[in-house]
Amino acid sequence: MQTVTQLDPLRRTVSLLRADGPVALVPTMGALHGGHLALVREATRRSAHVVVSIFVNPRQFGANEDLDRYPRQLATDSALLKEEGVSLLWAPDAAVMYPPGFATTVSLGGVSAGMCGAARPGHFDGVATVVCKLFNQVGPDLALFGEKDWQQLSVIRRMARDLDLILPRAEAIIGVPTVREADGLALSSRNAFLTPELRRSAAALPRAIQAAIAAMRSGAPIEPAMASLIADLISAGFTGVDYAEVRDADTLVPLTELSKSAARLLVAARIGTTRLIDNMAV
């Protein structure tokens, strides 16, 4: 595996790799766990070469968020990616990604409104800007993202369609199902911030989501199902719920009742000083 930190060698190397067939990009912020490795494995199945980017993107963190404490472990991550057979690690620093004078922001309406877009103002502008740059820098044939960040996946798909990004089709952006611990908690770099006691309580999140989905499938209306989901989380030790919503799975339009089109239940909740997100198909 080659590691590059500058744009010229990145482009030279990717054009050599492309001679063998399709190149897949897996964008990450490092602190890799089983969820990221699932993306890499799916990318390996679908392409001749996998490029992974590691960049902790300051533009997607708000002023009071956890940019400083976000785990950074490039040597460990690099060893894991090498074992997975990744061809190229793209690891620019902030000065390469955002050189002096950088003044462009990619900002979306629609799918970025509400939920994490409301709870974390500016977050999706930061995500869209860096992912747009990563697509332009690497020029992948396909790119893979985790379904755990469902709203992020929708934002990226929308952006790729709207800006005719070099990926050949919107379907070239692949969502990979969430990887979970044995007790159901979705893998996340932020789980590392949980004490053993909070970690045990955190498993209430997927349980509460499943219970709400079961209630709605048995005919409970959305609103009371969300109210009891929130009550379940608070009684399990969560300190607050940013949102618990049912939305159309594709357009992310908020739903007040279930219809035939696919729906998704999405939740963000706080436990200790950590904010966890999760979502499931209804």
Cβ(197)–Cβ(272) below 8 Å:
no
- CB 197 to ligand PAF: min, Å: 27
Cα separation, 11 vs 83, in Å, equals: 23
Is the Cβ–Cβ distance between 37 and 28 less than 8 Å?
Answer: no
Residue whose CB is less far from ligand PAF, 226 or 267: 267
Cβ density class 4-14: b for 16+ within 10 Å, e for less: beeeeebeebb
Smallest distance, ligand PAF to C-beta of residue 257, A: 31
Based on CB atoms, which residue is closest to ligand PAF, 13 or 28? 28
* Nearest residue to 152 (alpha-carbon basis) of 279, 56, 40, 48: 279
| Cβ-based nearer residue to ligand PAF, 130 or 176 | 130
Q: How far is the CB of 27 from ligand PAF (least distance, A)?
A: 4
Q: Would you give the DSSP letter of residue 186?
A: B
Tokens of 228: 């009891």
Shortest spacing between CB 152 and ligand PAF, in angstroms: 6
What is the distance between the alpha carbons of residues 24 and 140, in angstroms, rounded to a whole number? Answer: 5
The vertex-122 CA angle with 148 and 59, nearest 5°, equals 85
Minimum Å gap between C-beta 57 and ligand PAF is 4
User: Whose structure tokens read 């007790």?
Assistant: 183
The reply to whether 49 belongs to the active site is no
Host H or E run for residue 160:
helix 150-162
Question: Is 127 or 222 the residue whose CB approaches ligand PAF more closely?
Answer: 127
Nearer to ligand PAF, 127 or 263 (CB): 127
Residues that bind ligand PAF (CB under 6 A): 27-29, 57, 60, 127, 130-131, 149, 152
Residue 90 vs 238, nearer CB to ligand PAF: 90
Q: Please give the single-letter amino acid code of residue 65.
A: E
**Closest distance between ligand PAF and the C-beta of residue 256, in Å?**
29
Q: How far apart are CA 84 and CA 74, in angstroms?
A: 15
Q: In what order do the strands lie in the sheet with 263-271?
A: 240-248, 263-271, 274-281
Backbone angles phi, psi at 31, to 5 degrees: 50, 50
Q: Which residues are tagged catalytic?
A: 36
